[in-house]
Amino acid sequence: MVKVAVLVSGGGTNLQALLDASKYGGVPNAEIALVVASKAGVYALERAEKAGVESAVLSRKDYASQDEYDFAMVQLLKSHGIEVVVLAGFLSILGKAVIDAYPERILNIHPSLIPSFCGKGYYGLKVHEAALEKGVKVTGATVHFVNEIPDGGKIIAQKAVEVKDDDTPETLQKRVMEQAEWVILPEALRKVTDNM
């Protein structure tokens, strides 16, 4: 079994999709072994506890520099034998030390069809607001490997979702999660862990 850490910053809906897939055989070679939250008190930590998965909180503001934070993250992951990292709505930036420790082993889910509406500043509802402002008829989600460029790594999976005329950022976000993110994130993790 490939040991996987899921990094979260909020409610953990993508974490739940991975936990469900794991429970029902959707990622047969992966074990969700650790959940790391960027702050205490987020609902994703409750999801981890309910699933019997160990969790930790590692907050960027508790470290004087990016380098110290990255060092602490690598130590935490290595101490749990983590082989693959999934960023599931994780809002802290990972630096070079973490990326170098897990080359082509850090996956991120992004709520658009990269290269649209991605990069620095595009996260959460901002992505869907931008898509609606632009008037696109199709959006979706992308799972990609993480490198030093925000949303710049090699694409693993994408899924398109229709944009409706009466969409709000919130309704579009919900549809993208349900129809794309929760589908392709477990599939991408399976693809990566099946080849290890």
- State the catalytic residue, choosing from 80, 110, 128, 144: 110
Predicted confidence (pLDDT) per residue in 130-145, tens digit: 999 999 999 999 999 9
Domains of the chain in start order, with CATH, are 2-194 (3.40.50.170)
Predicted confidence (pLDDT) per residue in 88-111, tens digit: 999 888 999 999 999 999 999 999
Q: Which of 46, 64, 67 is nearest to 55 (CA)?
A: 46
80 an active-site residue?
no
Work out the mean pLDDT of the chain and round it to a whole number.
97
Predicted confidence (pLDDT) per residue in 22-74, tens digit: 999 999 999 999 999 999 999 999 999 999 999 999 999 999 999 999 999 99
Quote the tokens at residue 50: 């309910």
Predicted confidence (pLDDT) per residue in 163-179, tens digit: 999 999 999 999 999 99
Predicted confidence (pLDDT) per residue in 71-84, tens digit: 999 999 999 999 99
pTM (two decimals): 0.96
Judged on CB neighbours under 10 Å (0-12, 13-18, 19+), 73 is: buried
The HSE-up count of residue 97 (CA atoms within 13 Å, CB side) is: 14
Q: Which of 11, 160, 24, 153 is nearest to 85 (CA)?
A: 153
Look at the block and give the residue holding tokens 């034998």: 81
Average pLDDT over residues 111-126: 95
CA distance 136 to 47: 34
Q: What is the pLDDT of residue 93?
A: 87
